[in-house]
Amino acid sequence: MSPNFELLTLQFGKYKDCDINEIYITDPNYCKWLFTYPTIRLYPNIYKFLKSKFKNEESGEIYLDFGKYKGKSLSYICQKKDIKYICNLHNMPLVRYHEDYKRLYTVLTKFLNEINLDVDMYY
C-alpha cells in the first residue's frame, strides 16, 4: 500500500498554507530544493512525500537553512573559501551531533580534509 500524501500543507516559506502535492505539480524545482534542506526532516510527512519523489537524489547538493549563507549551497560556500565560516559550521553542536545534519557534517569534514586544514587552528 502506498503512503497517503493527501492534505500535506506547508506551514512555512514561499508556499505557506499550500498543499505539497499542488506545489510539486506547479513548482517541482522548489520541491527538489526543499528536499535538500536538512531541517525538512522535522516535518516527517512532507519529508516522506519529497523522498518518494526524489529518492534517487539524496546525494545531491546541500543548502543551508540558517546563518549568513542561508539559501546558499554548500558547494557555493566552499568555492567562496570562507574557511572561518566553514570551520565554525563544522564545529557547531547542531551540525556535529544532530541526526538531520549528519550529511552536512560529513561533507564539511571531507572538504576540510581535502584542503588539509586543521580546524582547531581557528579556535
| Residue ranges of domains in the chain | 20-54, 74-122
Cell of 48: 516522506
Comparing 8 with 117, which gets the higher pLDDT? 8
Angle at 40 between CA 39 and CA 44, to 5 degrees: 120
Q: What is the pLDDT of residues 63-115, one digit of tens each?
A: 777 788 877 888 888 888 888 898 888 888 888 877 667 778 888 888 888 88
Q: What 3-state class would DSSP assign to 6?
A: coil
Mean pLDDT of the chain: 80
Comparing 46 with 107, which gets the higher pLDDT? 46
Q: What is the largest CA-CA distance in the chain?
A: 53
Where does the pLDDT of residue 15 fall: very low under 50, low under 70, confident under 90, or very high at 90 and above?
Answer: very high
Question: pTM score > 0.85 for this model?
Answer: no
What is the model's pLDDT at position 16? 92
